[in-house]
Each structure stands twice: as C-alpha cells, then as structure tokens.
Amino acid sequence: MGKVMVLGGEILDATRLKDRTRLTVLQLPTGRNHEPAMDRTMSRGRFLAFQTEFLDPATVPSGTRITIVGKISGATTELLDEMEYTYPTVAIEFLKVWPEAMQIPPRFGRYGFPYYGYPYWAASPYWGPYGFYGPYRFIYW
C-alpha cells in the first residue's frame, strides 16, 4: 500500500460518486511508451481507480484505453456476476487517455489481392490498381 505504480488498461465502467469518480478498469500490460496492449486476453484481472478531481464519465466511455499513475490504496471486495471478486484500488495521480487506434483497410487491386502501389504506375496506362482499364487522371507525355 502507498506504492506508486503505472497501470494500463481498458475502462469497463465509469461512475460519478459524491466526492470522486470511480473507474472499473480491465488491466492490460503496457508497452515501451506505457500504452496498453490491444489484446484483452493478456489481462491479469480488474482494478478500481478513483479520481478525486472532477472527471465526467462521458469523457471516458467503456472501451477507452488508459494509462494511470497512482498510489495503491488497498482492496475492495464486490460481486462480479455471481462471485465475490477482490479489486485492488488505486488513487489516480495522473490519467492518460489514449486515442482510438485507426484501422486502415487495405487497398485491393484486380483479382482481390491487396495492391500496395508501384512507384511508377502513373507513367504508363499498364500500371495501377485498374490495370489497362480504369480512370486515368494523369497526363501522359
């Protein structure tokens, strides 16, 4: 108790209490820059984090990935579905909210294979994702 730790995770629930905000967090391992992993199967459990300054639960919806620097303040036992679960509790000193990861769909060329581009495809009508056919928006000399 009282040790300062860096913890990463994904918010499962955020609740505004009378004097603080309570975050239920699914713990996830962090990488070199302390960003939580994307794979939920790497979790080692849940913990509760409390922020004494005002934190609107709408700004940290369920699924938001966060990194917390805070002091371990004890443990709380509560019901999780039909069993009792002991949650470690953390007093938040610093909270970092990570942006959502962008998933860019691959470009597809003819025959359904990914097209990664060719550096000189604009120089000839035979190169490009459309092959010989397709919209040519380039001026050829």
Q: Is there a contact between 9 and 27 (Cβ–Cβ < 8 Å)?
A: yes
d(CA 132, CA 141): 17
| Two structure tokens written together for 115 | 């097209």
| Two structure tokens written together for 134 | 């397709």
| Two structure tokens written together for 4 | 């300062």
Domains located in the chain, CATH noted: 4-97 (2.40.50.140)
**pLDDT digits 0-9 by tens, 108-130:** 555 555 555 555 455 455 555 55
One DSSP character per residue, 105-119 reads PPPB-GGG-B----T
**pLDDT digits 0-9 by tens, 48-101:** 999 999 999 999 999 999 999 999 999 999 999 999 999 999 999 999 999 987
Q: Is the pTM of this model over 0.85?
A: no
Q: Which residues pair with 4 in a beta bridge?
A: 71
